Amino acid sequence: MRLAELSRRSGVATATIKYYLREGLLPPGRQVNTTTAEYDEEHLRRLRLVRAMIQVGRLPVATVREVLGHVDDDSLGRTIRLGAALWALPQVPEPDEDDEYVQAAHREVGALLDTLGWENAKSLTTISPSYRSLVVAVAAFRRLGYDWDVELLARRAELMHQAAIADLDFMETHPTEAEQAEAAVASAVLVEPMLEALHRLAQEEESARRYGFE
């Protein structure tokens, strides 16, 4: 398809598509002549992902470029490829390792991973932004005086494990590793807000169930 059709099918203005091409968010089309290029369904799929990351995920262009660079790096194994793409997404600030609450949170999260038997997650604690994000959140709860013990954390971790299984099951329905990596990124950008919204709706429902609307 030509640029005009790519614009029509995606709903993205041609000027915006040209900008994404210049910024390396879309691969170049197949050059037909000096002024015309052809695009295919992969361009359309990638363009839709880029728009979701920017418009829904509110990610800056530089972050989108970094994430997609990992998605397209077929020299990496699947786990590292997916991890690198997801870790390039915005993360919480680094924890202050001298903070007593952070130190306690490290112990709590370590005990949690032992309880769950998540040996693979334990092996990634030195490099995983997700681990650090959890430590920061647990430390913040402790600082507020809420002591979330391992049992409380484990109940929620098991729910998230089921969500992760569903995510990877969905990812594996796509035929190529590149499409699978794109689906994983889309899940990180779009499913997390949906899970957050579902969590809040569930809290509203349970609160009304227990206490009514008074």
Q: How much is the pLDDT for 93?
A: 79
Burial (CB count <10 Å: 0-12, 13-18, 19+), residue 208:
exposed
Q: Is residue 93 part of a domain?
A: no
Domain end call among 56, 87, 118: 87
201 and 123 belong to one structural domain: yes
- In this model, does residue 36 exceed pLDDT 80? yes
Q: What is the mean pLDDT of residues 165-173?
A: 88
Taking the complete model, does pTM exceed 0.85, yes or no?
no
- In this model, does residue 166 exceed pLDDT 80? yes
**Domain housing 76:** 3-87
Could you tell me which residues are beta bridge partners of residue 30?
Answer: 38
Q: Is residue 20 part of a domain?
A: yes
Q: How much is the pLDDT for 89?
A: 73
CB atoms under 10 Å from CB of 57, counted, come to 21
Instruction: Grade residue 102 by pLDDT with cuts at 50, 70 and 90.
Output: very high
User: In total, how many domains does the chain have?
Assistant: 2
Q: Is residue 95 part of a domain?
A: no
Domain end call among 31, 66, 87: 87
- The Cα 97–Cα 93 span in angstroms is 12
pLDDT tens digits along 52-100: 888 887 888 988 888 888 778 777 777 777 777 777 777 777 888 999 9
Tokens encoding 98: 């001298």
50 and 147 belong to one structural domain: no
Q: Is residue 187 part of a domain?
A: yes
- In this model, does residue 117 exceed pLDDT 90? yes
76 and 109 belong to one structural domain: no
173 and 113 belong to one structural domain: yes
Q: How much is the pLDDT for 72?
A: 80
Q: How much is the pLDDT for 112?
A: 94
Return the HEC string of 106-155.
Answer: HHHHHHHHHHHCCHHHHHCCCCCHHHHHHHHHHHHHHHCCCCCCHHHHHH
Q: How much is the pLDDT for 94?
A: 83
% of the chain exceeding 90 in pLDDT: 42
Q: Residue 71: which CATH number? A: 1.10.1660.10
Please report the DSSP string for 69-99 in residue order: HHHT-TTS-HHHHHHHHHHTS--PPPP-TT-
| Residue among 188, 174, 109, 90 at smallest CA distance from 148 | 109
107 and 184 belong to one structural domain: yes
Q: How much is the pLDDT for 86?
A: 72
Domain end call among 60, 87, 114: 87
User: CB of 109 within 8 A of CB of 131?
Assistant: yes
Q: Is residue 58 part of a domain?
A: yes
More confidently predicted of 75 and 101: 101
- The Cα 129–Cα 169 span in angstroms is 23
Could you tell me which residues are beta bridge partners of residue 38?
Answer: 30
80 and 105 belong to one structural domain: no
Tokens encoding 129: 């932004």
- Long-range interactions of 62-65: CB distance < 8 A, separation 24+: 63/88, 63/89, 63/90, 64/25, 65/23, 65/24, 65/25
200 and 116 belong to one structural domain: yes
Q: Is residue 51 part of a domain?
A: yes
200 and 109 belong to one structural domain: yes
70 and 33 belong to one structural domain: yes
117 and 60 belong to one structural domain: no
Q: What is the mean pLDDT of residues 189-214?
A: 88
% of the chain exceeding 70 in pLDDT: 100
168 and 201 belong to one structural domain: yes
156 and 108 belong to one structural domain: yes
